[in-house]
Amino acid sequence: MTFQILSYPGRVETFRRIFGRDMPEVGFAGSVEEADPADVRYLMAWTFPDNLATRYPNLELIFSTGAGIDQITGVDIPPGAKLVRMIEEGVTTLVRDYVVMGVLGLHRDLPAFLAQQRQEVWKTRDFVWPDQRQVGILGLGELGMATVHALRPFGFNLAGWSRTQKTIEGVDCYHGADGLAAMLAKTDILVCLLPLTAETRHILNAELFAQLPKGAGLVHAGRGGHLDQDALLDSLDSGHLSGAFVDVTDPEPLPTGHRLWSHPHVVLTPHIAGHSRPESAAEATIANIRRHLAGELPKGVVDIRHGY
């Protein structure tokens, strides 16, 4: 019974150390050469071989090194194996902090002030108080809930949208197509933290942006496939949207010369909103293997039908 991780050397050695300390009864392999594939019961990676089911016939758990799993959905998963996305404190806190940064940046007109700075323009702008803004969050899972808790002290009106109905104290919760339209109509700063599925691909499109109030902003920390980049640029150019923080693009890296690089009302970051912390990720993975061995569902197990 072996756990195998395919990742960069620093992460592999951290996992090797913590598995040796906390779970020595399970074999450890940090490369494809270190273990017989037939012995591998637990496999962790970001990208997986196309022949996963035939190469690893006895897999029981397949772990993503990150919170996203859309890069795995096309892989031939062995029958009976469970797919598990990464849920651990490192990813959650980093994404939470990025979203708070983006929301506060848009709330205080940071993209506009950065554009003025480049033009050497000294000009104040009208103030809007937090209780005069609604922050709407697309996705109320682990990351969405951490964001809700972090934004509460600032005094924003909070709303959230999910596939199914949820009830969260202090948050106006919406679901379904009608609920999305209702939330968008009142949302001044929209945050995208959705998983990428067939239903959510290009959800951030011209039709959605048109439903937001004039002057709204976007914080996009989901996946590149959520965003119609041309629609965002058109909405910013027309003045309907006032600014955007964009952390993920399609493709990545963003090609040289793309307008997102230089748009005066876009703050662009290179997919850095979230990253799993090797130490806590290893501990979370061990805890999930123990749950599995005890006959329990791992934390973060994916419902393949829904894609998350």
Sheet strand arrangement including 189-192: 171-175, 157-162, 134-138, 189-192, 216-220, 241-246, 266-268
Distance CA(179)–CA(239), nearest Å, equals 25
Residue 271 annotated in active site: yes
Residues forming beta bridges with residue 3, ordered by sequence position: 28, 42
- C-alpha torsion angle, residues 118, 121, 124, 128 (rounded to 10): -30
The number of C-alpha atoms within 13 Å of 164 and in the hemisphere containing its C-beta is 2
Residue 85 annotated in active site: no
Residue type, 107: H
- Per the CB < 8 A criterion, the answer to whether 244 and 91 are in contact is no
Sheet strand arrangement including 82-84: 27-29, 2-5, 40-45, 61-64, 82-84
- Quote the Cα angle for 283-287-291, to 5°: 170
Identified catalytic residue from 201, 271, 290, 291: 271
Instruction: Write phi, then psi, for 33 (nearest 5 degrees).
Output: -80, -15
Supply the DSSP symbol for 296.
P
Distance CA(292)–CA(289), nearest Å, equals 5
Identified catalytic residue from 41, 85, 220, 223: 223
Distance CA(90)–CA(85), nearest Å, equals 14
Q: What are 279's two structure tokens?
A: 């130490």
Q: Looking at the annotation, which residues are catalytic?
A: 223, 271
